[in-house]
Amino acid sequence: MSSPTEEIRSHRSRQEKARRNRSADNREIRRPARPSSSVSQTEESIPDVLAAAVSEPAVMQAPPAKRRGGVFRWIILVLQLILFAITIAAIWQLKERTQQATFEVRYLVPGRDDIVESVFFGDSAALHEPVELENYTFLYWEDSEGKPEDRAEFPVYRDTLYTARYALSFESEKHIPYLSTDEAGVLDIEGPVTVREFVNILYTLLDTDLVGKGKFLDVDKEDACYKAAATLKDLGVLEGTRLHPDENLSRGDLLKLLSKFFPASDEPCVFMDMTENDAYYPYFCTAVAQGWIASGKLVRANAVTEVTRGDFARIMNHVLKRDATRHLKDTDVGTILDVPPTSDYYDDVVEAVISHEYRMENGVEVWTKSEALPLHDPGFFFAGCKLHYIDENGAPAANTTMLGLDFNKNGEVTSGDPELDKRLWAILEETIDPDTMEPEEMLRAVYDYVVKNFTYRYGKMIEYGEEGWAAREATRMLDNGAGNCYCFASLFYELARFVGYDAKIYSGRVYGEQYEFRDEEGDPVYSPQGYTPHGWVEIEFDGIPYIFDTEYEYRSGGYLQMFKRGEHARAQFGYLKAPPEE
């Protein structure tokens, strides 16, 4: 009888033997028995092969699809490796080429040849030294995006462009003229300044010999302002692709362009028609800070209003620091037909149109030498269709009455109503030509204009002997295109005076039966028996008064020839300047 220990050992031995047998069996199942070398595969029976296939779970080969997937993955991997190698080679070649390539760094200087430097790809370029220009202060180099370049050196990877920007300064020593009169001596003090004219003035006042390369789509090389516009664009004063040279300059644009010559102001300004959000506001603040214009709650900026030549001269003299205080006799100035000595702009205009030398005494400009304008002969003188009177000193009559005609501050004959004056001048431009017509021909032309271009309409009667109604009734005639005898007489009266005749207008009477007419409200008004109220014009020739009755001629269809009728017509029609005594 064996001991317990021996039984345990025997049990373990049997378990180990069984385990080895199972392992052997498993190997037999997984690994099919190879045929004996002495028996060929063809000699093996088909049933034996089938039985082995059924009884032994042999390891199966991968399906064809899986085999193809593996092949594709290998192909893709190989292609990626080839592409990677090609890329590395291309990058290396590109690097080799770019290391040998050069790029241009171009510096634009107004009026000078371009400065061009060649730099290898990736190398650093030193910013070019400033180019000194006479009368200008260099500010900075500006890149192609309009930003100042503040780096002393910069890497270069492409063609690069920089433009020199300068602080501009006006010529202040030589007081050269920048405005001029026309051949007749007219400045057109209330007329506009065109963009073309202003650009040329700026260029002249800079006293420069620069010739820029800046371009505008609407300014060709034949334009009178081409050189000035091209240079001012290079200098950064003008911007954009179009200049619009024929447009009139606004007050806001004038101050905007002038402000580019001076540092911006942080001081606020106040105008009754401008707020801080206005696009022109910062430029007006600069103008106020520089002393060019005044500001205040009751002051209008008039930013979008066309700047007149008088206002332009005043602002420019402040910009140029010209004293604009006259130190000459009127005869040493000459004749500026529409700017008499009484004009508010006279000193500024004289400073602007006359070339002069000067010296400073106690901070005051004293002229030492000047070139006077031509003097006109005394008498009446037409500038276009505007009548002036020149006194014995060659100065236009202004704010005065001369030979029965009234003249305004600009030396132009006036009705006393500026708006009516403009309408009368417009009529004269259509009807007369002072260069080819004699005075009486012009008088006949305006007479016929009134007769042929207006119709009769009942209206309010003017009191006998009343004065000061002509401008009012002439305006009524122009507004309505029709009027009564007083309107007909008033319009001809004003036009006759505008061509140089000391006409007189009357509210009186003429012969007539019981006569009815209607006032402005349409109510009938009756005249005394035998007379009827009437208005007409008289003009003296050689001391003899003659009657001009445009309303009678119109009402008669031209049958009554009432141009320059003498005493016979007075007796025939009973013209009375005052009512007869009762």
Residue 340 predicted with pLDDT over 90: no
Residues 80-127: pLDDT tens digits?
888 888 888 777 666 555 555 788 999 988 888 889 999 888 888 899
> Residue 231: left (phi > 0), alpha (psi -120 to 50), or beta?
alpha
Residues 203-232: pLDDT tens digits?
999 877 888 889 999 999 999 999 999 999
What confidence category does residue 337 fall into, taking pLDDT thresholds of 50, 70 and 90? confident
Q: Which amino acid is at 484?
A: N
End position of a domain, from candidates 112, 139, 167: 167
Asked if residue 525 and residue 445 are part of one domain, the reply reads: yes
Count the helix, strand and coil residues of the chain and give each as a percent rounded to the nearest 5: 35, 20, 45
Asked if residue 543 and residue 429 are part of one domain, the reply reads: yes
Asked if residue 562 and residue 450 are part of one domain, the reply reads: yes
Residues 341-355: pLDDT tens digits?
888 899 999 999 998
Instruction: Give the span between the Cα atoms of 509 and 413, in whole angstroms.
Output: 30
What does the mean pLDDT of the chain come to?
A: 84
Asked if residue 428 and residue 565 are part of one domain, the reply reads: yes
DSSP 398: -
Asked if residue 161 and residue 42 are part of one domain, the reply reads: no
Geometric angle at alpha carbon 533, from 529 and 536, rounded to 5°:
140
- Four-CA torsion 30, 31, 32, 38, nearest 10 degrees: -170
Q: Does residue 186 fall inside a structural domain?
A: no
Helices (H), 191-250: 195-206, 226-234
Q: What average pLDDT score do residues 470-497 get?
A: 97
Candidate from 134-143, 293-302, 531-540 with smallest mean pLDDT: 134-143
Asked if residue 163 and residue 107 are part of one domain, the reply reads: yes
Q: Does residue 38 fall inside a structural domain?
A: yes
Instruction: Give the span between the Cα atoms of 453 and 103, in whole angstroms.
Output: 75
End position of a domain, from candidates 167, 197, 215: 167
Q: Does residue 425 fall inside a structural domain?
A: yes
What confidence category does residue 564 fall into, taking pLDDT thresholds of 50, 70 and 90? very high
Candidate from 191-200, 216-225, 370-379 with smallest mean pLDDT: 370-379
Candidate from 77-86, 223-232, 478-487, 488-497 with smallest mean pLDDT: 77-86
What confidence category does residue 137 fall into, taking pLDDT thresholds of 50, 70 and 90? confident
Asked if residue 565 and residue 429 are part of one domain, the reply reads: yes
Residue 192 predicted with pLDDT over 80: yes
How many separate domains does the chain show? Answer: 3
CATH code assigned at 154: 2.60.40.4270
pLDDT given for residue 43 in this prediction:
44
Q: Does residue 253 fall inside a structural domain?
A: no
Residues 292-336: pLDDT tens digits?
999 999 999 999 999 999 999 999 999 998 887 766 666 678 888
End position of a domain, from candidates 135, 167, 199: 167
Asked if residue 424 and residue 569 are part of one domain, the reply reads: yes
pLDDT given for residue 39 in this prediction:
39
Q: What average pLDDT score do residues 189-194 get?
A: 94
Q: Does residue 297 fall inside a structural domain?
A: no
Element (H, E) at 361: strand 356-361
Residue 59 predicted with pLDDT over 50: no
Of residues 414 and 112, the one with the higher pLDDT is 414
pLDDT given for residue 24 in this prediction:
52
Residue 41 predicted with pLDDT over 50: no
Asked if residue 533 and residue 462 are part of one domain, the reply reads: yes
Q: Does residue 315 fall inside a structural domain?
A: no
Residue 338 predicted with pLDDT over 80: yes
What count of other Cβ atoms lies within 10 Å of the Cβ of residue 366? Answer: 12
CATH code assigned at 463: 3.10.620
Residues 516-529: pLDDT tens digits?
555 667 665 555 55
Give the domain extent around 421: 415-573
What confidence category does residue 70 fall into, taking pLDDT thresholds of 50, 70 and 90? confident
Q: Does residue 154 fall inside a structural domain?
A: yes
In the chain, the largest separation of any two C-alpha atoms, in whole Å, equals 190
Residue 38 predicted with pLDDT over 50: no
Asked if residue 440 and residue 509 are part of one domain, the reply reads: yes
Instruction: Please say whether the dihedral angle defined by the alpha carbons of residues 495, 499, 505 and 511, taken in this order, is positive or negative.
Output: negative
Q: Whole-model pTM?
A: 0.67
Residue 73: half-sphere exposure toward Cβ, Cα within 13 Å: 6
Asked if residue 556 and residue 490 are part of one domain, the reply reads: yes
Asked if residue 18 and residue 108 are part of one domain, the reply reads: no
Q: Does residue 350 fall inside a structural domain?
A: no
Residue 50 predicted with pLDDT over 80: no
Percent of the chain with pLDDT over 70: 81
